[in-house]
Amino acid sequence: MMHLLRLPVIVASLGYLVDMYDLFLFTIVRVDSLTDIGYSGDQLLEYGVALLNIQMAGLLVGGLFWGILGDKKGRLSVLFGSILIYSLANIANGFVQTFEQYAILRFIAGIGLAGELGAGITLVTEILPKKIRGYGTTLVATMGVFGAILAFGIAETFDWRVSYWIGGVLGLLLLVMRVRVFESGLFLKSASEKVKRGNVLILFNNRERFLRYLKSIVIGFPIWFVVGVLITFSPELAKAIGVIEPIEAGIAVLLSFGAQAVGNVVSGVMSQYAQSRRKIIGLFILLSFLFTVLYLLLPITSTYGFYALCILLGFSNGYWTLFITVAAELFGTNIRATVATTVPNFVRGAVIPITTLFMLMRSGVGIIYSALIVGAITTALALWALRTLPETFHKDLDYNE
């Protein structure tokens, strides 16, 4: 277990702490920051959603860029570059005066944030013995919990601008620590061999490999169905369900993401005890659908009961880190960083067709049953994909595609 205290593991874990700090901080200070620069009323939701979508676009672009870079130049190049970009973007966020400035900086921050977790998970899985790889990724997830807590504490204590500056400084301090981090031995071995590294076409020129890649994305669909539909549209869904008092989407987001961070830790530990990634991911997918049914069909009238279900839904989303670990373990060293970095960002991007289908069906069957049908579809697809993927817990990662 002393392997878990190796510097690359600690630094990767701290990187996810700063990553989660930034993601949570934007969610927490969104209203205050937009109000401070001159927006109010419906504009807070309109411009807030626009900023989230712009950040999502940055994540998609960054996922592809950092993934390819990680396989071509090494995992450390991503860990250095990504945190530098989003740390500087964080500091600059504290100076914004207009929506346009905010939008540009959230896009840049999104590009930076896209590389952190995938590169960190890749590095951790490659340097740790196979029996404790799951503990390494669980440690990364645990630090993510602390990042979320830290963001909430800082935002409650300081002005939103100061909160951004603190996040940027934390990132730059971590950058100094990374100077001493060593590269993955598996990557160095792969780099010395005559093999194409970071070639995205490898994922599409072989049917079996393409399906493996596609399935590794599909198993994450229920996570972003919950985030993109049930949590994002929680005020509208709560009203349709019969909740008496208005529901605040910001509180629903905060509670669900906080619970997801805890779920990441629990699922990681459970996978080590079960010595299986597939079984635990399957359990969390089923829990997610169970809580979806309860969320949509229970005759809840109190805000406390509704928020409690948001917490349970967030917890069931807690196989996020585990499913990225599986994606990294499913592919060879020469394409592993590309997969581990693009898969979570493509899952995030899947929120577009998921929410589009939800909106299209809403006019025909109503908002409740539209959400229920879309939830059933994403769950069925995820369980099918998981069932047809191999177990990766004991897999040797020393190979190329």
Amino acid (1-letter code) at residue 72: K
Residues 200 and 266 in one domain: yes
Amino acid (1-letter code) at residue 315: F
Angle at CA of residue 338, ends 170 and 254, nearest 5°? 45
Residues 108-159 pLDDT 10s? 999 998 888 888 888 888 888 888 888 888 888 778 778 878 888 898 899 9
Provide the residue range defining the domain that includes 130: 1-192
Q: How far apart are the first and last CA of the chain?
A: 30
Residues 171 and 209 in one domain: no
Residues 162 and 213 in one domain: no
Q: What CA–CA distance (Å, rounded) separates 340 from 123?
A: 10
Residues 105 and 157 in one domain: yes
What are the residues whose beta carbons fall under 8 Å from the beta carbon of 230, sequence distance 6 or more? 237, 292, 295, 296, 310, 313, 371, 375
What are the residues whose beta carbons fall under 8 Å from the beta carbon of 75, sequence distance 6 or more? 119, 122, 123, 126, 183, 184, 187, 337
DSSP letters, 27-95, are HHHHHHHHHHTT--THHHHHHHHHHHHHHHHHHHHHHHHHHHHHHHH-HHHHHHHHHHHHHHHHHHHTT
More confident residue, 39 or 76: 39
Q: What CA–CA distance (Å, rounded) separates 396 from 9?
A: 19
Instruction: Give pLDDT, residue 183.
Output: 62
Q: Quick check: 49 and 233 in contact, CB under 8 A?
A: no
Q: What CA–CA distance (Å, rounded) separates 161 from 31?
A: 13
Residues 323-374 pLDDT 10s? 989 998 999 888 888 898 889 888 887 887 888 898 888 888 988 999 999 9
Q: Give me the CATH number covering residue 138.
A: 1.20.1250.20
Residues 306 and 337 in one domain: yes
* 54: confidence class by pLDDT, cuts 50, 70, 90: confident
* 182: confidence class by pLDDT, cuts 50, 70, 90: low
Residues 215 and 311 in one domain: yes
Q: What CA–CA distance (Å, rounded) separates 335 from 186?
A: 12
Residues 226-276 pLDDT 10s? 988 898 888 889 989 988 888 887 788 888 888 988 898 899 999 999 999
Q: Quick check: 296 and 237 in contact, CB under 8 A?
A: yes
Give the end of a domain, one of 148, 167, 192.
192
Mean pLDDT of all residues in 174-188: 69
Query: How many domains does one find in the chain?
Result: 2
DSSP letters, 261-313, are HHHHHHHHHHHHHHT-HHHHHHHHHHHHHHHHHHHHHS----HHHHHHHHHHH
Residues 171 and 284 in one domain: no
Q: Is the pLDDT of residue 169 over 70?
A: yes
Residues 182 and 240 in one domain: no
Burial class (CB in 10 A: 0-12, 13-18, 19+), 236: middle
This model's pTM is above 0.95: no
- Closest among 150, 166, 165, 54 to 110, alpha carbons compared: 54
